[in-house]
Amino acid sequence: MLDKPTIQGVEIGKMWNNDSAHVGQDLALLDGLRAATRAALRGAGIHTVHQLAALSVDELRAFTGIGKVTAPAIRAHAQAFVEQRPVWYSPLRTSCCWSGFMFDLETDGFTGIPWCFGWTDADGSLHTTVVSPHYRTDTVTLLDGSQVMLVPDSDTLWEWFAAMTAASDCPVYHWGYYDIGILRSTAPAAVRSQLESRMHNLHDTFKRTVKFPRHGTSLKVIAAHLNFAWSSYEEWMAAYLDYQRWLSSGDMEALSRACSYQQDDVRALGIVWRWLVENAPEREEAG
């Protein structure tokens, strides 16, 4: 028997009292609406994204929790659901440029120490580096024929990445605040000095400029809207467990799966970045 469809764990039939006209239109689809804001909107008879999209930015600002900055974003998100297309509401800043490194890291979920880096360089070549305390710096070949660099510890991991990106001052694009936080907490001082000013949070850029007809803004959600699919699995913990399996047993299938997940994260980031720079209707100078 198939599970009943839900949004945020609530059965659709229960959420909208089986009114099929409202399925997929509820305000719960919109990101960033606080409970008090939703209550205020519902109290004014605004229950669906169609109703909210019909309001002006000034009308939205009259509601609790909606201000000058958030009103255009909320309205754009509602429009995206109504029109089933991306809706731009702010210019793309020129700091998001036509060149740069796509970067993603994986960490031990208990210690926060990195065990794998993935990135693409200026010509689009994909690189993967993995921490392996049992090996000297070396390369191994994965089952798909791609090569992975092995380094003995996380400091070397950071130093290798810094050396590989030192020839260019292009931005290092990443998704969210986690990567920059790990840089600050685990990288050697010289690496932090070299990289910190170049880190560009593409997630923040995305949220400030455009809305997709999707609930949530994780890389998995946004890349899926652009028809990208992870080749093995979509869970960081599965990759970490496969990495641990390789460390303990030398299982190359496990390492290949773990690196495939990492590489797909980097590819997904590149797809979103490319979509932004190719589709932005206008730009503004970075402050």
Residue-wise pLDDT tens digits, 239-271: 999 999 999 999 999 999 999 999 999 999 999
**CA separation for the pair 108, 91 (Å, rounded):** 37
| Structural domains in the chain, sorted by start | 6-85 (1.10.150.20), 101-284 (3.30.420.10)
Under 8 Å between Cβ of 60 and 46: no
The percent of residues in the chain predicted with pLDDT above 70, rounded, is: 87
pLDDT tens digits, 46-96:
999 999 999 999 999 999 899 999 999 999 999 999 999 999 999 987 667
pLDDT tens digits, 90-119:
998 766 777 899 999 999 988 999 999 999
pLDDT of 136 reads 67
pTM above 0.85, yes or no: yes
User: CA dihedral in degrees (20, 59, 281, 26; nearest 10)?
Assistant: -20
What do you get for the CA distance between the two ends of the chain, in Å? 55
pLDDT tens digits, 220-230:
999 999 999 99
Q: What is the mean pLDDT of the chain?
A: 88
3-state secondary structure of 234: coil
pLDDT of 284 reads 62
Tokens for 106, please give them.
Answer: 């994986």
pLDDT of 22 reads 39
pLDDT of 1 reads 29
Stretch 121-137: mean pLDDT: 85
Which of 3 and 41 is assigned the larger pLDDT?
A: 41
| Non-local CB neighbours of 257 within 8 Å, separated by 6+ positions | 232, 233, 238, 239, 242
3-state secondary structure of 222: helix
Under 8 Å between Cβ of 195 and 187: yes
* Band (124; pLDDT cuts 50, 70, 90): confident
pLDDT tens digits, 174-222:
999 999 999 999 999 999 999 999 999 999 999 999 999 999 999 999 9
Under 8 Å between Cβ of 244 and 108: no
CA distances (Å), origin 4, targets 10, 30, 128, 189, 221: 9, 21, 40, 52, 21
pLDDT of 93 reads 79
